[in-house]
Amino acid sequence: MIYQDIIRGSEFRRGRDKSIIEQEICLKNFLKKKRHQLENLKKNFRKITKLMKQEKNSSLKIREDFISILRSSQSKFEENYLTGYKLVNLVQNIIGNLVHNSSFRSKYKNENRIQVKKKISFFPNSKPRKNHVEILYQLKGVEYKRGQKVSGRRGYFLKGPALLLNISLIRFAIDFLSSKGFINLQPPFFMNGNLLKKCAQLEDFEEQLFFLGTEEQKYLIATSEQPISTFHSSEKIGFKELPIKYMGLSSCFRKESGSHGKDTNGIFRVHQFEKVEQFGFDNPINLNSWSLFDEFKDNAAFFYKSLKIPILKIDISSNSINNSSSKKIDILGWFPASNCFRELVSCSNCTDYQAKKLDIQMKNGNNNNRDNYVHLINSTLCATSRVICCLIENFQTSHGIIIPDCLRSYLGISFLKF
């Protein structure tokens, strides 16, 4: 049982009005009373219907009319109850996951705590660096105009050396996680809306998700995290099977409506890209999921260390994290041309927040009557279009791009000439 004061404190750390908790309590009490009344109404309806059928003195039409009136009253009461039930669900979706005690808290929404900062200059004597847009143009790695002609704004064709680099990053990321005990998955690229609503933020439907316009209410996925989180929906996982670690490879599709005017050039922020994701299901008892959260975070850091990309880890402020996250860490990569760090990785522990909606429980032989919802953890490993941008800026020379050692066996070359 979670006490309401703990939830109030969590919402306060998110920078929200705590009165939403009081609204939830009032609505739940109201709904509980209405449910009791509805059950009594159904019980009385069954009794009266039975008596009316046994009544022989009144005409058949009178009996049928009376039963019809009772049935209509019950139907209206059920509609009102259903409206109240939807309202409670709406309020509960507004309330976020419990913020972890170690999560950074700030008065300001965009202020985050720096954990690790390591800035490296690979070529300190080189001339001012070109940005990734110019470099990809010189490499003849992207067709922007033809891409936009075919698919519109932010459209592109990846070709030649950039395509090979994209495939090499995917293969390296898959092998990297396979060596760490991950199960490889490639999920469907679209999802049913009723299931997606249980694992995606409500604002995502407006800002991120492409609706396919079908009768089945299907959407293109924005990340493999979404379909993989539902992989075990309505299932009970044996506690001996946990943790389960999945590597998710997928194309991702995002509207980027909330990023209008940002990064309009290049392939850093686009509507379609490939991503390798880490996703885990873990035991809710003894806080095991926090060890898996640290493992995912360290995996991502070591992956970029292998690529020799300078990184910055930041603890996202509790008033900036999404509803499903209890704690969130981002890893940013160094972009020398713009002299700043930019996001490459997002790592979150959602504890049991999503599992409750998806009904994913742990089978525990010692306590079968208790609902033990598993913990869900997710982390980016490699969003290839962004990593390509970061790599080519850091490894550029006046004649071309040096290929990091870990990618040379996949790409087959050590240098990309302009």
Per-residue pLDDT tens for 113-158? 666 555 554 544 455 578 999 999 999 999 988 988 888 888 899 9
Q: What is the tens place of the pLDDT at every residue in 359-404?
A: 999 987 665 556 789 999 999 999 999 999 999 999 999 889 999 9
Q: Which of 167, 134, 185 is nearest to 392 (CA)?
A: 134
Peptide bond before 404: cis, by omega within 30 degrees of 0?
A: no
Sequence-distant (≥ 6) Cβ neighbours of residue 406 within 8 angstroms: 172, 306, 307
Alpha-helix runs per DSSP H in 255-404? 288-306, 353-358, 384-394
**H or E element in which residue 142 lies:** strand 142-143
Hey, what's the torsion of the CAs at 158, 161, 163, 167, to 10 degrees? Answer: -160
Radius of gyration of the CA atoms of the chain, in A: 27
Please give the span between the terminal C-alpha atoms of the chain, in angstroms, as a whole number.
62
Closest CA to 70 of 44, 91, 51, 95: 44
Which candidate, 26, 41, 7, places its Cα nearest to that of 84?
26
What's the token pair of residue 174? Answer: 């898959």
- pLDDT greater at residue 71 or residue 343: 343
- In this predicted model, which residue has the larger pLDDT, 35 or 284? 284
Question: What sign does the CA torsion over 136, 139, 143, 144 have?
Answer: positive
Q: What is the pLDDT of residues 192-233, one digit of tens each?
A: 888 888 888 766 666 788 888 777 788 999 999 999 999 999
| Per-residue pLDDT at 65 exceeds 50 | yes
The angle formed by the CA atoms of residues 211, 214 and 219, to the nearest 5 degrees, is 30
In angstroms, the CA 402 to CA 173 distance is 19
Residue carrying the six token digits 């300190």? 124
